Amino acid sequence: MISPKCMIYCRLLLAGIGTILLIVGVSLQFAAAGNLYGIPLSNMCEAYSGSKELSDAQAFTQLINTVLQQRQACISLPNATEIIACCEAHSPNIPGTTWYLSGICAKPWLTGLSQYNESMPPADKIELFTAVLGDFIGVAGPGDYLMANAEFWCKNCPNDYRKNCPFDPPPANPNEPGFQNNNLCDCPGGSLSQPGQAFWSMVQDYDLSSTYILCSDKARVYRSWITALFPSWPKDNLDHAEQQFLAKCWQGKSPLGYILSVGPVLSIFACIFSVVSIFKYFANSPMSTLGFNFAMLAVSLTLVSFWPLSFTGAAALVSRYYFCYGLSDPVVLNATSSARSRAAPTFFNGNPCFDLNSEGQHKPNPFIGQLGIYNAGYVSGGVLVVIALICMLAVVSKNAEVVLEEKLSTEQNGEQAAEPKS
C-alpha cells in the first residue's frame, strides 16, 4: 500500500514532468505553425533558380514587352495556318487549352496591345494579360494570383531544360514554327543562372508550394506586377491593391492557423487547471473537472491538428523529394557534371532530388528543407503535448479519487456520530 505522502510526491512529479513536456511541445508547435505557412519567398527562388531575387516592376515590364513582341510577330504572319502554328509553338503546351483563348495569342483580334494603353478598363486589362501570360505563370484568372508559380514570383530562371518554354526566339524560317527541345529558354525580365549558382530540381505543383510562402512577400511581388500593368496608377491605388491581396492571403490561411493553434491553447489551460487542482485549497473546487475536460478536448484537437498537415499537402510535398547523394546514372538522371550544367539531378522516375543540386553539391533544397523542419517540428511538439496531457490526466484522475475518498470518509464519520449510543 502506497502511503498518502508518497502519492503526493508522485502527483507532483507527474505534474512537473507534464508541465515541462507541455512547455517544450507547445513552444515547438507555435514556432512551427507560425513559420510553416510563412517561409520566405527568397528560399523558394533560391531553390528554383539559384538566386534569391524576387520579381520587380522592371522585370515584369520587360516580360510583358517580350511577350507582346512575340505575340505581334505571330499574329502578323500571312495566313491562319502559320499564325496558329506560331501561337501554339510559343505558348505552354497545356492540355485542354485553345490558342485563341489562352497563351501568347489570347484574343488575337486585339492588336496593338500595351500596358501603357489607358483606354482599356483596368478589369479588362488585367484579364487580358492574365489570359496571355496565365499558362506560363500558373494563373487561371485575375483572382488566382495567390497560386502563381515560380516563374511569376522569381526574377531569374534556372539554366535548365524547361518544360514551360513559350518565349524561345522564333525560328529563322516562319514556315517551321516552334522551338527545339535542346534550346534553352531565355528569361525575360531576369537572367539564367550562371556557373556556380546552384539550383535544385523542383516539383511542378507550384500552386501547392505557394501555400507555404510568406504573405507579405507575395503581396510585394503582386504590387510590382500591378505597377507594371498600370504604370500611371498613383501610390494610393497600388497600396490598396497590395493590401487587398495581403488580406486575401491571410484569409486563406486563417482556418489552418485556427486548427493548428487551438490544440496548444487548450493544452495550456488543461495544464493550468490540472496543476492548480493539486493544492489543498482547490481540492473541492471544479478545477479537477475542468482540467480533465480540457485535457481530453486538447488531446482530441491535437491529434486532429495533424490532419491539416496532410490535407494541405505539406507532408506529401516533402515526401516527393528523394535523397540522391552518392547515386549515379541511371538511378539518378543528370548526375554527371556535363549533364548537370543543363539540368538539376532527378531520380530515374522523375522525382526531384532533395540533397543534390545542379553543381553536384551535397546540400539540401533550402525551400523543402525548411518546410520539412517545420512540419517535423509541429508533429514532434504535438507528440510531446499528448504525453504531457496524459500525465495531467493521471494527476486530475487521482485527485478526483482522493476527493471522493475524503467525501465518503466524511459522510461515514457523520453517520457514525449521528447514531445513538446503546
> Which phi and psi angles does 332 have, rounded to 5°?
-115, 120
Instruction: Give the model's pLDDT for residue 185.
Output: 58
Q: Which of 316, 353, 318, 315 is nearest to 333 (CA)?
A: 353
Instruction: Give the model's pLDDT for residue 348.
Output: 83
Q: Cell numbers of 378, please?
A: 509541429
Is residue 294 within 8 Å of 393, Cβ to Cβ?
Answer: no
Is residue 183 within 8 Å of 150, Cβ to Cβ?
Answer: no
Cis peptide bond prior to 330, omega within 30° of 0: yes
Instruction: Give the model's pLDDT for residue 180.
Output: 40
Distances (CA, A) of 231 to 145, 150, 188, 218, 395: 19, 23, 19, 19, 66
Instruction: Give the model's pLDDT for residue 151.
Output: 84
Instruction: Give the model's pLDDT for residue 407.
Output: 53
Strand, coil or helix: 333: strand
Q: Which of 170, 130, 178 is nearest to 152 (CA)?
A: 130
Instruction: Give the model's pLDDT for residue 225.
Output: 93
CA distance 190 to 149: 16
> Which phi and psi angles does 241 have, rounded to 5°?
-65, -40
| H or E element at residue 347 | strand 346-347
- Judging by DSSP bridges, how do beta strands 332-333 and 346-347 pair with one another? antiparallel
CB atoms inside a 10 Å sphere around CB 348? 13
CA 265-267-271 angle, 5° bins = 125
Write out the chain's pLDDT in tens, 422 residues. 566 677 777 778 888 888 899 999 999 988 887 787 888 999 999 998 888 999 999 999 888 888 888 788 888 888 888 888 887 777 766 655 677 777 777 777 776 667 777 777 888 888 888 888 877 788 888 888 988 888 889 988 887 655 445 555 444 554 444 334 344 456 778 888 877 888 888 887 766 777 788 899 999 999 999 999 898 899 999 999 999 999 998 888 887 777 788 888 888 888 888 888 777 776 667 777 788 888 888 888 888 777 766 655 677 788 888 888 887 777 777 666 555 456 788 888 888 889 888 888 888 999 999 888 888 888 888 889 989 988 888 887 766 555 555 554 555 555 555 555 54
Q: Cell numbers of 359, please?
A: 553543381
CA distance 405 to 264: 33
Q: What is the pTM of this model?
A: 0.79
